[in-house]
Amino acid sequence: MEKLNQPITGICSFAKYPICTDLEQLEADIAVLGVPYDLGVGFLSGARLGPRRIREVSTHYARGEAGFYDPENEEQLLAAPIRIVDCGDADILHGDIEYSFSHIEDSVRKILQKGAIPAIMGGDHSITIPVGRALACLDSEICIVHFDAHLDWTDHVGPQYYGNGSPMRRLSEMEHIGKMIQIGLRGLGSSKRSDFEDARAYGSILVPASEVHKEGAQNVLKKIPKADKYFISLDIDGYDISIAPGVGSPSPGGLYYDEVAEMLAGICQMGEIVGFDLVEVAPQYDPAGITSRVAAMTMLNLMGQIMKNKK
């Protein structure tokens, strides 16, 4: 008798996609990788639990090889023969930044070398640093599209150069990272004046959340730098606190799901998306599980748009 494979049964892989933890055997269009790491957090920890909770709620949306019907655009997304697999988690040793970053970078590089698009679940935002290092294997200049309430341009806090407030500055120091746009910024004191000055000096385009609300997603898309290859980094606290309370640094006045979905769809039409990460889901601060669901649906939606536009 054929199994129905309903969401409530089976192992909680991302959206119940097949599991491939041996990256040497990877054959996929998109490879999901969890990074349960939150040593970069200075205050509210817990993002290490994000990948596991996102996987759990994502099974509710599993549709298998049939893919997902989008009733708004009347199209089918992520249907076979598109191949998505869950590669499990990067190997993490809490308390050892060097070990953890080395394994994150190695896992992402292997996914890229196998020709798959890494879809990465954090973890705090510092994981984007080793992810960014891995992108060097593409031998191309990468444009960064960053959704976040925070600028993430802190140089260091004492001797800590690899905190969750520093990933965009660390990316800017990498030779293969080119232009950058940061969307959703807000909050009194979320970053120092000097950090904003440094980001502007680098050439980063800064878009406050209030500008998205006033001008609309299509006008923001006009500001996206032209590039052949893009990497998208989504901090879940870029969303408004009303739909993403389960984060370490929640902030009112943020972005809404439809706004982000419209911008992601537009970015995917502009060039090749070489990968993305979604970070900072800290599920213990959200008993209702709203944040994890928004994260899972954001990932599935972005995957659908990437493959829809992939040439």
What is the rounded (10 degree) CA torsion for 172, 191, 217, 291?
Answer: 100
How many other CB atoms are found less than 10 A from the CB of residue 91?
A: 13
Report residue 290's pLDDT band, with 50, 70 and 90 as the boundaries: very high
Report residue 8's pLDDT band, with 50, 70 and 90 as the boundaries: confident
Find out whether 142 and 131 touch, Cβ atoms under 8 Å.
Answer: no
Residue 285: phi and psi, rounded to 5, are -90, 5
Say yes or no to pLDDT of 106 above 90.
yes
Rg (CA), the chain: 18
pLDDT score for 282: 98
- Beta-bridge partners for 277: 120, 233
Find out whether 177 and 263 touch, Cβ atoms under 8 Å.
Answer: no
Mean pLDDT on 24-36: 98
Mean pLDDT on 194-211: 98
Say which residues have a Cβ less than 8 Å from residue 277's Cβ, sequence separation at least 6: 35, 118, 120, 121, 122, 123, 127, 128, 131, 232, 233, 234
What is the rounded (10 degree) CA torsion for 196, 209, 226, 299?
Answer: 120
Say yes or no to pLDDT of 219 above 80.
yes
* Mean pLDDT (the chain, rounded): 96
DSSP structure class, residue 48: G
Residue 232: phi and psi, rounded to 5, are -110, 125
How would you label 197-230 residue by residue, b for 16+ Cβ within 10 Å and e otherwise? ebbeebebbbbbbebbeeeebeebbeebbebebb
Say yes or no to pLDDT of 3 above 90.
no
Say yes or no to pLDDT of 311 above 80.
no
Report residue 10's pLDDT band, with 50, 70 and 90 as the boundaries: confident
Q: Would the CA dihedral through 182, 186, 191, 192 be positive or negative?
A: positive
